Every structure is written in structure tokens, then in C-alpha cells.
Structure 1
């Protein structure tokens, strides 16, 4: 009985296998190249978050000239502004690509600082003025970032391909001239409120970025790219001493920021060169 079953199975399997051998060869479609160089350009909107800083008080009195104390810079606000970016990259395969980018945005800056001498009444300062005194500061900041980025392209969905990315690089932050106006509502009418200006400086700082977005194929070479980038710029030098302090021996940097975060919404195009 077992022999009969084995013979029956053989008669079914062998013809079927022979039919497979005799079937015509079907050529699979050629898969296009997924690697190669590309160019990119983006425009967007940058919204920096409020940051903090610190500044040195220069004692002008003869015999004790020098840095007396370091105070907190209470509020450093860069306003939202347009941003532009260009770059060149390489697509290694369907999932992995890298690029280097150069980005720029220019923003107005508003700051607020407490008047340190107005909130101290010890023997060293002996100026017991009202505590609601502060300086309103205004300036500008130009921010350049040069970043090396790597992206992971995820599975496509209805023509869109999401991605995640991260970048590391450097930022060059250049502040313009800062104008300060002392505000002291409860000071006497005879008190002379401070008005001055300080020259901004430029400094190179480290920068980190995280990206998320999606692409859409407009053609076999051209892709539409839309996404969000979180950028962290580390702290650095910001402003020199004013002319009055410099006339009394001060030099170098008085104000430093402690870094700031930037939220960016960007859209642009990527063009494959291969």
C-alpha cells in the first residue's frame, strides 16, 4: 500500500517539476540606481526660543577699577524670521543619505536686564534705589550654521517618504550694535537714566540639529522636501563694554549668551545628479 502511494505522488510531482523547467523565462524589470550625488535648497521660518546670558559689571572708581560682579542677563529674545539653506549630499542607498548644508537667518533681538546697583544696598554698593529698575536692550543677530547631516528614509506611504535625521556642526553668531535704555519708574525726577550702546561681536560655537520630515517625488530626479528642524546653538560672546567703561579701562567682552534653541519649519527641493 505504501509503495502504491509513493508511486502515485511521484507521478504528480515529476510532471509538475518538468513543466516548471519548460516554462518561458520571465525577465524582471531593472531597478533604477538608488545612489548618487544630489543638490538641495530650502527656505523656511526660524523661531528661536528665549535664552539667558551673563554680563560683567565694570567698576569705574579709581583704585578699584575692574570687574566687580557678574550678573544674569534675564531675557534674550530673538524674533522669528525667514531662513535660507543650500547643500550637497549623497544618497548611499534607498534608506541612507548624508549631506552638508549652509543655513542663514537674520533676527531682531530684544533683551531685558535688571539694574544690579539698584537692587543692592550693601556697603560695597551703597545705592538703595528701587528694585523695579531694568534696562530695555535692542539689537540684531545674524546666524550662520554649517552642518553635516545624516538621514534615514523610512518606508514610502502613498507617494510620500518620511525621514528622520540628525546633524552636527558649527554656528557663527554675529550680533549688531545693542542700544540700552534704563527704565526706572520710581526713581526721582533728578536721577539721570542710563542710555548707551555696545558693539556686538561674532563668535563660532558648536551646534546640533534633529530633523523630521517627508519627501515626495516630483520626477525621477526632483524631490519635494518638507520638514521640521530643531537646532541648538551653544553659548558664546555677544557684546563689548560701552564707551564709558572702555574710557575707564574696560576691554574685551562684557556680555555672553548661554546658547539658544531654534525651531525651524522648512521646505525645499532635492535634485539628483546621477
Structure 2
């Protein structure tokens, strides 16, 4: 009987010591699932390069009212685009930025076949043009697939349009009274003027790293009118208030851009191991 009591006492002591040892062991935490990292806002810098494909509706002069018809052909060479900007990403679908850019010199060549009372004439135009453009832009990101995000946007601001080195070489003849054709050359002083400008954007953005994105974008840009000084002949003759106006300058631009995200995404660490004792 005593041996049975001794055996029970030894078993109870063993159970108590096992329970105490288990209490001193570390309590395993529940399985850890990292939280979903959502997109968040932040400041970014951007840079852009590209080239332009420019258009002008027509060239106008106050003396054109004396013409009965005018058929023009006007062309600009492509020019480089160089821009910088700063912006803010509000959330994962909306962002906005302010950009400033220089649009390099583009050579202009135009012809104008004019019919007027008593004769016909042909004018040949040459000039160069460049701009400074400042825009406030807003964009909507349309979702992301395989790190590629299509977007659309719009911008408003101002364009400083500079027309330089304008020349007008004209040849006129009178078919009613045959004789030698008359030739003339006129010049317009350099003029730069600020206009209201607006733009429409569309493109694709590729997120290379969490803080670095590359963009390929198309932009339609409306820059208003360009202007020369009053036209004067080679001998200095000047018809006052007769500048040449480049009516409705527009451009179809292709740009390659980069964005640097200045914010740092949050870093989530797993919870510490909880121990007791």
C-alpha cells in the first residue's frame, strides 16, 4: 500500500515539473501574414526629352486684304524638346505636376501664291522659331498590368513663342501688261510673345523600381499665335503696323520621360517572438 502511494506521489511530481517546464518555454506566435502594401502619395521629380512635329494654319498680314486669293504651303522642321518638372502623386490613380521646357529652334519654310487686282505673285518665306512652355498638368492612371500603366492627362499654362530671322522674298507679274517681273525682299524683326497654351497627354509608364518610372508619351500642344516685327524692305521702307502673324501654332510631340519618386515606402517588420518567464 505504501508503495502505491509512493508511485502516485512520484507521478504527480513528474506532471507538475512538466507543466512548469512547458510554462517556461516560448509561446509560439500565430502565423504571420505581412500586410498588403497599398499605393500612397508622394512628391516626385521628372525629366523629359523628345521631338516636335509642328503646324501653323496660315500666315496673315494686314496687306492681305488687297488680295483676292491666297494659297499657302507652310512647313516646320522637327525640333528637340527638353523639360523638367516637379509633381505629387495623390493616390494610385491620380497625380499632377508642373513642368517647364525649352523647345529648340525649328526652321520654317513657306510659299504663298497670291492673286491680286492687276496681277499675280509668289512669296517665299523663311524663319526660325523656338518656345519656352510652362504647364500645370493633371493625369489619370488607368491601372497597372505587368508594371505597365497607361495614362491620360491635360495641361494648361503659357508659351513664349519667338519668331526670328523672318524674310519674305516676293516675285510679282502683271499678265495684262506684259513686262519684266518685279522682285522684292522684306524682313521682319525678331519678336517673342507669351500666349495661353494647353495640352492633351496620353502614354504608357513602366515602373522599373518602386522609386523609378519610365514614360513614353504623346502630347498635343496648342501654343497660340506667333508674330514678327513690322515688315520692311531692304532699303528700309516700312509700312507701319504690318507684322506677319503665324496663326494657330500647334505641335504633335513624342516624348521619353523619367520620374523619380522622392518618398520612401513603409517597411514592415515581423512581430517579435513573445516569451514568458
* TM-score bin, normalised by smaller chain: 0.7 to 0.9
Q: Which runs of 5+ in 2 are unaligned?
A: 1-28, 264-277
Correspondences of 1:55-204 after superposition (within 5 Å): 55-57=61-63, 69=66, 74-105=72-103, 106-115=105-114, 119-121=115-117, 128-129=118-119, 131=120, 133-183=121-171, 190-204=180-194
Change beyond 3 A, Cα 1:253–1:202: farther
Q: 2:272 aligns to what?
A: none
Q: Is the 8 A contact 1:95 1:154 kept in 2?
A: yes
Matched, 1:37 2:43: yes
Task: Give unpaired runs (5+ residues) of structure 1.
Answer: 1-22, 59-67, 122-127
3-state SS of the aligned residue for 1:57?
helix
Instruction: Evaluate the alpha carbon distance shift between residue 85 and residue 253 of structure 1 in structure 2; reply closer, same or farther with a 3 A threshold.
Output: farther
Cα distance in 1 between the residues matched to 2:234 and 2:241: 14
Please name the residue that 1:232 is paired with.
Answer: 222
Offset at residue 173 of structure 1 (A): 0.3
Q: Per-residue deviation at 1:164?
A: 0.6
1:267 equivalent to 2:256? Answer yes
Instruction: List aligned pairs for 1:45-60, cutoff 5 A.
Output: 45-57=51-63
Distance between the aligned counterparts of 2:130 and 2:44, measured in 1? 28
Q: Which has the larger radius of gyration?
A: 2
Contact 2:168 2:185 in 1 (8 A): yes
Q: 1:52 to 1:76 in 2, by over 3 A?
A: same
Offset from partner CA, 1:10-64 (integer Å, 9 cap, x none)? xxxxxxxxxxxxx946444252652111110011110012421310129xxxxxx
Report the Cα distance in structure 2 between the residues aligned to 1:87 and 1:253, rounded to whole angstroms: 38
Instruction: Determine the structure 1 residue equivalent to 2:202.
Output: 212
Change (3 A) 1:55 1:271: same
Q: How many Å separate the matches in 1 of 2:157 and 2:228?
A: 20
* CA deviation after TM superposition for structure 1 residue 254, in Å: 1.6
State the superposition RMSD in angstroms.
Answer: 2.8
| TM-score (norm. length: structure 1) | 0.75
Whether the aligned pair in 1 keeps the contact of 2:226 and 2:249 (CA below 8 Å) is no
Mapping of residues 237-248 of structure 1, within 5 Å: 237-243=227-233, 247=237
Alignment TM-score, normalising by the size of structure 2: 0.74
Of 210, 225, 247, the residue aligned with 1:258 is 247
More strand by share: 2
